[in-house]
């Protein structure tokens, strides 16, 4: 069970954001900063955990998924997910190839700078998930507890503009006005059709599926594995929405409630 504090709670708005690294996380956090009523403390980046825990004049806090599950009764919760194969390569390129030293949790996993992708995958398959660096954790571990999806709204990274627009409309029903366009933060990889050169054998694909199969079942079950690995444009789909949120949207659309 994941005990780390992966959810941001914005207290005044009763809003929860389930953070998923490598799924527009930095951009979304930058957008949420516009909801703060007071100027945050200087010198701490919005990407840092300590910003949301200590630098927002007590307007926000970081909470566990178990706490988010309890707050879900009277808070609106959302997140965004990403093609698990693509998210894994984004983490590998950034944390293993680009920077000189991987983060400490990855080093503790015996991940080192410049290691081959196959060796990287071997480390993952031989490491208990509860010892993973957050950038490598399955999205299902970050957003689900006891097989229950916590966020009421989950958009896709691959449709970030359309799904952000839908989220803005839903939030506006509740008097929460977020900025129209997400800022581009930490965009490092421009070539998104390079997955197949990493996943060039069934063995490598199977190793990845050992770890991330639940992500595919929960968030990408409408896409076959080959298409996810090819990383071709995905068919348009509505974001995941809880039954209660679907009902609320239907009522709003049909002017049944105000």
- Provide the 10 A C-beta neighbour count for residue 95: 22
Q: Where are the domains of the chain?
A: 7-253
SS3 content of the chain, % helix, strand, coil (to 5): 45, 10, 45
Please name the residues in contact with 186: beta carbons below 8 A apart, sequence gap of 6 or more.
26, 27, 47
**If we measure between CA atoms, which residue out of 102, 155, 152, 90 comes closest to residue 132?**
102
- What are phi and psi for residue 15, nearest 5 degrees? -120, 135
**If we measure between CA atoms, which residue out of 115, 109, 119 comes closest to residue 93?**
115
Nearest-angstrom CA–CA distance, 96 and 76: 35
**If we measure between CA atoms, which residue out of 29, 18, 80 comes closest to residue 51?**
29
- The answer to whether the beta carbons of residues 153 and 78 sit under 8 Å apart is yes
DSSP state of 181: S
Residues 13, 165, 24, CA angle at the centre, nearest 5°?
80
DSSP state of 236: P
Nearest-angstrom CA–CA distance, 138 and 66: 17
The pLDDT of residue 258: 43
**If we measure between CA atoms, which residue out of 152, 191, 157, 130 comes closest to residue 73?**
152
Residue ranges of the chain whose pLDDT lies below 50? 1-2, 189, 256-258
- The answer to whether the beta carbons of residues 8 and 17 sit under 8 Å apart is yes
The pLDDT of residue 194: 77
Please name the residues in contact with 118: beta carbons below 8 A apart, sequence gap of 6 or more.
204
The pLDDT of residue 246: 72
The pLDDT of residue 27: 94
Alpha helices in the chain (DSSP H): 25-32, 49-54, 65-71, 84-92, 104-108, 117-125, 139-143, 160-173, 195-198, 202-219, 225-230, 243-253
What pLDDT, in 10s, does the model give residues 106-146? Answer: 999 999 999 999 999 999 999 999 999 999 999 999 999 98
**3-state secondary structure (DSSP) of residue 6:** coil
The pLDDT of residue 1: 40
The pLDDT of residue 11: 97
- What are phi and psi for residue 148, nearest 5 degrees? -105, 130
């Amino acid at each position: 069970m994941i005990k780390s504090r992966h959810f941001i709670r914005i207290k005044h708005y009763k809003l929860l954001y389930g953070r998923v690294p490598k799924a527009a996380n930095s951009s979304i956090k930058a957008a949420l900063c516009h909801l703060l009523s007071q100027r945050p403390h200087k010198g701490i980046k919005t990407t840092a955990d300590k910003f949301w825990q200590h630098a927002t004049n007590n307007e926000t806090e970081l909470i566990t998924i178990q706490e988010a599950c309890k707050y879900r009764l009277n808070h609106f919760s959302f997140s965004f997910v990403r093609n698990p194969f693509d998210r894994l390569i984004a983490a590998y390129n950034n944390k293993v190839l680009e920077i000189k030293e991987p983060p400490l949790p990855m080093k503790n996993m015996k991940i080192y700078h410049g290691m081959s992708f196959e060796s990287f995958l071997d480390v993952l398959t031989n490491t208990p998930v509860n010892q993973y660096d957050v950038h490598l954790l399955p999205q299902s571990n970050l957003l689900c507890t006891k097989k229950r999806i916590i966020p009421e709204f989950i958009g896709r990274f691959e449709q970030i503009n359309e799904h952000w627009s839908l989220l803005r409309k839903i939030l506006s029903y509740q008097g929460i006005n977020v900025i129209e366009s997400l800022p581009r933060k930490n965009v490092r990889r421009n070539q998104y059709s390079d997955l197949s050169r990493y996943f060039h054998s069934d063995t490598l694909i199977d190793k990845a599926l050992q770890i991330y199969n639940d992500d595919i079942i929960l968030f990408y079950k409408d896409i076959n594995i080959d298409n996810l690995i090819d990383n071709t444009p995905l068919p348009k789909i509505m974001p995941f929405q809880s039954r209660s949120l679907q009902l609320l949207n239907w009522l709003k659309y049909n002017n049944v409630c105000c």
